[in-house]
């Protein structure tokens, strides 16, 4: 099995064995010297015997120690080999385009995905500068991102990388600068970029279409304001024949009038009848004042106040469900916005008539509501 | 939920006051100037409004101007984004330009009148106010 790196644990273990052996030798030498001087009778024989015994013990201990250490060394080497295999497997089979470069950008190692995406052989890329593969327009941004990055924190940039056929692929690169190397994990985002650009164009087109449609709808509504039919056909709405006031502002003879949409009001307020009664009471008291104010602004030629007042009547009537009054107020507001107030006197007459009808109707209806 | 209703029309004001009153104290203002004063006071006392319902067409200061000024005030007071007031435009104007410019001025929602309790509640839920 080929083991490329030398793990620092191996050196540590070897040094440990050496130091243990030297210590053992030292202890035994001291022991011999002690025996030599302490034993007075037949020192040579005693020394010889003890030396043999000591040598035997020393060799035994060394063999035991070496076996033990060689076993742990073997384990370390196996673990390193396994890690190296895992690293190779991870590097070569990842879904990201992995690349390790030197601090200067020289490519040290790449995984096969780069070849797959760019179409350039692995061997051709190794040893080249990574930034030479980046589109000239993106190079400055890519290098500046690398330069301003802080060690051990992940940063990112997007760039176009040159392919073998001189086309480009958009790559989003996350990178980390560590020690003397740059670790890059790239992802091919070309399709995403293309669809994003397509989507932006479509959004812009739709926005223009929507604007045109709104403008057209508003224009049509303004033009046809006098012909607007009542919107609701709820059974609780009150429909009475429309007395003729003026042909310019009158609804068609066949049309039915929606004075008050009680069902709609109840639905909007989630059947809160107390609130319904409260706002109807307020509306009945307030709306005649609002209409008088509208007339006053019209006679004082204050166009902005006239528009604002008509808008207020429209909003209040809309909230209450006084559909006829809302429509006429809207017509006055629109006429004011157009700057053509020739129809406003007739519309005000119509509004007053509708208000009278509404109040007459509500005088009887409120009795029922208050019960 | 502390709410402010900026509305010059009494029916809308009454309905909103009733509907929002279920969720906490409600204050009212009849134009943008009054609203600005209330928002300014609230920011000064660190007792921000959680919600502002803002009409667009109002006398003195309209809703668009008020919206811009409220966001500026929040920025000047370095109010963190999570504490910034949710602003719902409540208007009878339903044209694209008003809706677009409201969102451009950083409103959080847009409700077209007539006021509908269900729609209002859905909007409050969407904004995580209730």
List chain A pLDDT tens, one digit each, 371 residues.
444 445 555 556 666 766 776 777 677 677 766 666 665 555 555 666 667 777 777 887 888 888 788 888 888 888 888 888 888 888 888 788 999 999 888 999 999 899 989 999 888 898 998 988 898 888 888 887 887 776 678 888 999 999 988 899 999 999 988 888 899 999 999 988 888 877 777 777 677 666 666 666 665 555 555 444 443 444 444 444 343 333 333 444 444 567 888 888 988 888 888 889 899 989 999 999 999 999 999 989 888 999 999 999 999 999 999 989 999 999 999 999 888 888 999 999 999 999 999 998 888 777 666 55
> Which helix (H) or strand (E) covers residue B110, if one does?
strand B109-112
| pLDDT attached to residue A228 | 44
Residue A79 domain flag: yes
ipTM: 0.87
The answer to whether the Cβ–Cβ distance between B10 and A282 falls below 8 Å is yes
Please say which residue of A35, A68, A93 terminates a domain.
A93
Whole-structure pTM value: 0.50
CATH number at residue B61: 3.40.50.2300
pLDDT at A340: 86
Same domain, A363 and A230: yes
Beta strands B109-112 and B51-54: pairing type?
unpaired
A174 and B CB contact within 8 Å: no
Is A282 near chain B, with CB under 8 Å? yes
Given a cut of 90, whether residue B68 has pLDDT beyond it is: yes
- Looking at every residue in chain B, the average pLDDT score rounds to 91
Q: Which pLDDT does position A239 carry in this prediction?
A: 43
Could you tell me if A251 and A266 lie in one domain? Answer: yes
Is the model's pLDDT at B89 over the cut of 90? yes
Asked whether residue A218 is domain-assigned, the answer is no
Whole-number Å distance between alpha carbons of B97 and A213: 12
- Total number of domains in chain A: 3
State residue A54's pLDDT score.
Answer: 74
Same domain, A144 and A238: no
Q: Do B18 and A275 touch (CB under 8 A)?
A: yes
Question: Are A76 and A132 contained in the same domain?
Answer: no
- Whether A198 is covered by a domain: the verdict is no
B124: left (phi over 0), alpha (psi -120 to 50) or beta: alpha
CA–CA separation, A293 and A351 (whole Å): 13
For residue B104, the enclosing domain spans 3-126
The answer to whether residues A278 and A156 belong to one domain is: no
Do residues A143 and A54 both lie within one domain? no
Asked, for residue A13, whether it belongs to a domain, the answer is yes
Asked whether the beta carbons of residue A214 and residue B118 sit closer than 8 angstroms, the reply is: no
Is residue A194 in a domain? no
Residue A240: per-residue pLDDT: 41
**pLDDT for position A9:** 59
A interface test, pick of B58, B92, B121 with most A CB neighbours within 10 Å: B92
Look at A268 and B95 and tell me if their CB atoms are within 8 Å. no
**CA B23 to chain CA mean position, Å:** 15
* More confident: B81 or A343: A343
Which pLDDT score is estimated for A348?
Answer: 93
Query: Do residues A348 and A288 share a domain?
Result: yes
**Cross-chain Cβ contact B11/A314 below 8 Å:** no
Asked if A82 and A102 sit in the same domain, the reply is no
Q: Say what the pLDDT of residue A371 is.
A: 57
What is the number of structural domains in chain B? 1
Cβ contacts (< 8 Å) between A283 and chain B: which residues? 11
Q: What confidence score (pLDDT) does residue A370 get?
A: 57
Residues A364 and A235 grouped into a single domain: yes
Give me the residue from B92, B95, B117 closest to A268, CB to CB.
B117
Q: What is the CATH number of the domain that holds A231?
A: 1.20.120.160
Q: Which of B9, B20, B93 to mutate to test the interface with A (most CBs of A within 10 A)?
A: B9
A243 closest CA partner among A349, A161, A92, A121: A349
Residues A89, A107 within the same domain: no
- Chain B closest CA to A80's CA: distance in Å? 50
Q: What is the mean pLDDT of residues B106-122?
A: 91
Out of A188, A214, A243, a domain closes at: A188
User: β-strands A107-110, B3-6: how paired?
Assistant: unpaired
Domain CATH for A106: 3.30.450.20
From edge to edge, which strands make up the β-sheet containing B26-29?
A: B26-29, B3-6, B51-54, B86-91, B109-112
Residue A181: domain span: 97-188
The closest CB to that of B113, out of A211, A272, A315, belongs to A315
A242 to chain B nearest CA, in Å? 25
B46 CA: distance to closest CA in chain A (Å): 33
Can you tell me the distance from the alpha carbon of A206 to that of B9, in angstroms, rounded to the nearest whole number? 35
Within chain A, strands assigned E span 97-102, 107-110, 154-162, 168-178, 181-188
* CA-based nearest distance A247→chain B, Å: 28
CB A141 within 8 A of CB A152: no
């Amino acid at each position: 099995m080929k083991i490329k790196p030398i793990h620092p644990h191996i050196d540590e273990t070897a040094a440990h064995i050496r130091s243990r052996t030297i210590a053992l030798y030292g202890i035994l030498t001291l022991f011999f010297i002690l025996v030599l001087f302490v034993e007075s009778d037949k020192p040579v024989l005693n020394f010889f015997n003890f030396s043999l015994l000591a040598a035997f013990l020393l060799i035994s201990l060394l063999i035991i120690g070496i076996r033990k250490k060689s076993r742990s060394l073997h384990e370390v080497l196996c673990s390193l080999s396994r890690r190296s295999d895992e690293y190779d497997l991870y590097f070569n089979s990842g879904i990201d385009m992995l690349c390790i470069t030197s601090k200067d950008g020289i490519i040290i190692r790449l995984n096969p995905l780069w070849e797959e995406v760019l179409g350039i052989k692995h061997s051709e890329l190794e040893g080249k500068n990574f930034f030479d593969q980046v589109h000239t327009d993106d190079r400055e941004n890519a290098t500046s991102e690398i330069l301003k990055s802080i060690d051990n924190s992940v940063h990112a940039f997007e760039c176009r990388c040159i392919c073998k056929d001189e086309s480009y692929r958009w790559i989003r690169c996350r990178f980390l600068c560590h020690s003397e190397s740059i670790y890059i994990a790239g992802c091919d985002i070309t399709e995403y970029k293309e669809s994003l650009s397509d989507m932006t164009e479509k959004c812009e087109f739709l926005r223009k279409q929507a604007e045109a449609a709104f403008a057209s709808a508003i224009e049509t509504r303004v033009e046809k304001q006098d012909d607007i039919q009542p919107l609701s056909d709820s059974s609780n709405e009150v429909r009475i024949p429309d007395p003729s006031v003026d042909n310019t502002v009158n609804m068609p003879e066949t049309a039915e009038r929606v004075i008050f949409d009680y069902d709609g009001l109840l639905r909007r307020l989630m059947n809160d009848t107390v609130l319904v009664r409260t706002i109807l009471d307020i509306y009945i008291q307030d709306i005649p004042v609002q209409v008088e104010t509208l007339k006053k602004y019209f006679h004082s030629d204050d166009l902005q106040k006239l528009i604002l007042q008509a808008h207020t009547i429209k909003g209040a009537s809309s909230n209450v469900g006084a559909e006829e009054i809302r429509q006429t107020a809207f017509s006055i507001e629109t006429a004011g916005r157009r700057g053509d107030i020739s129809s406003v006197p007739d519309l005000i007459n119509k509004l007053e008539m509708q208000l009278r009808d509404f109040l007459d109707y509500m005088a009887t209806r409120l009795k029922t509501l208050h019960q | 939920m502390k709410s402010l209703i900026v509305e010059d029309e009494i029916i809308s004001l009454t309905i909103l006051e009733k509907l929002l009153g279920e969720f906490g104290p409600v204050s009212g203002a009849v134009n943008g100037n009054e609203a600005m004063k209330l928002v300014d006071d609230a920011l000064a006392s660190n007792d921000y409004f959680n919600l502002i319902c803002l009409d667009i067409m109002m006398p003195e200061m309209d809703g668009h101007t008020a919206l811009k000024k409220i966001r500026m005030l929040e920025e000047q007071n370095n109010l963190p984004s999570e504490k910034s007031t949710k602003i719902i435009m409540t208007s009878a104007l339903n044209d694209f330009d008003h809706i677009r410019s409201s969102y451009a001025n950083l409103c959080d929602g847009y409700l077209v009148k007539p006021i509908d309790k269900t729609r209002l509640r859905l909007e409050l839920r969407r904004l995580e106010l209730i």
